[in-house]
């Protein structure tokens, strides 16, 4: 079975995310042993960011890294696990809100499009928007 990096790369819908992960120097983290859960925004999710945001983040690697770490939860959290919790601590240090409504789960305000894409060292859940840590949300990106 492939690791998180190879699994996300072969999916074909995370090209922007994978480029950002590479730029931020997080490839080794996602290849390492020890299970992780990645909340992976699609390429379309990145297109929803205001014009120039991604370029701005690629020029501010500490901020980009912090945002990407906000999409990573330590441990292997499958859909069944997410259905039983109200929050999840991220590798960035903040906590994500997990909400349940009518059988669906949202993470902060992102909808989960697909769950439980398994990798050798964790699991990927596909989300429809880029998550921002609260401390960065009101800053100009």
Transcribe 69-98 into DSSP letters: HTTEEES---HHHHTT-SEEEBTTS-EEEE
Give start and end residues of each alpha helix (H) in the chain.
4-11, 15-23, 27-31, 43-47, 53-58, 61-69, 79-82, 134-137
Q: Please check the confidence at residue 27 and state whether its pLDDT lies above 50.
A: yes
- Mean residue pLDDT across the chain: 93
On whether the CB atoms of residues 61 and 24 are closer than 8 A, the answer is yes
Asked if the structure places residue 67 within a domain, the reply is yes
Return the ∠ at Cα 131 (arms to 130 and 135), rounded to 5°. 135
Asked if the structure places residue 76 within a domain, the reply is yes
Asked if the structure places residue 137 within a domain, the reply is no
pLDDT of 38-90, one tens digit each? Answer: 999 999 999 999 999 999 999 999 999 999 999 999 999 999 999 999 999 99
b/e sequence 45-61, b meaning 16+ C-beta within 10 Å: bbeebeeeebeebeeee
Domain with residue 113: its CATH number is: 2.30.180.10
Which residue, 75, 69, 112, is CA-closest to 94? 69
**How many folded domains does the chain comprise?**
1
What CA–CA distance (Å, rounded) separates 112 from 73? 15
What CA–CA distance (Å, rounded) separates 25 from 8? 16
Q: Which range of residues forms the domain containing residue 27?
A: 4-131
What predicted TM-score, i.e. pTM, was given to this entire model? 0.94
Asked if the structure places residue 140 within a domain, the reply is no
Confidence band (pLDDT; 50, 70, 90) for 141? very low
Asked if the structure places residue 81 within a domain, the reply is yes
Asked if the structure places residue 136 within a domain, the reply is no
Asked if the structure places residue 141 within a domain, the reply is no
Tokens for 98? 């997990």
């Amino acid at each position: 079975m492939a690791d998180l990096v190879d699994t996300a790369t072969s999916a074909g819908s995370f090209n922007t995310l994978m480029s950002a992960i590479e730029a931020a120097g997080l490839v080794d983290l996602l290849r390492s042993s020890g299970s992780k859960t990645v909340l992976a925004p699609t390429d379309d999710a990145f297109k929803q960011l205001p014009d120039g945001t991604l370029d701005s983040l690629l020029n501010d690697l500490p901020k980009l890294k912090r945002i990407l770490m906000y999409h990573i939860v330590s441990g292997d959290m499958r859909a069944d696990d997410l259905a039983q919790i109200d929050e999840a601590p991220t590798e960035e240090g903040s906590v994500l809100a997990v909400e349940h409504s009518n059988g669906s789960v949202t993470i902060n305000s992102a909808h989960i499009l697909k769950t439980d894409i398994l990798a050798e060292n964790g699991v990927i859940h596909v989300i429809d928007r880029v998550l921002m840590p609260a401390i960065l949300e009101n800053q100009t990106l």
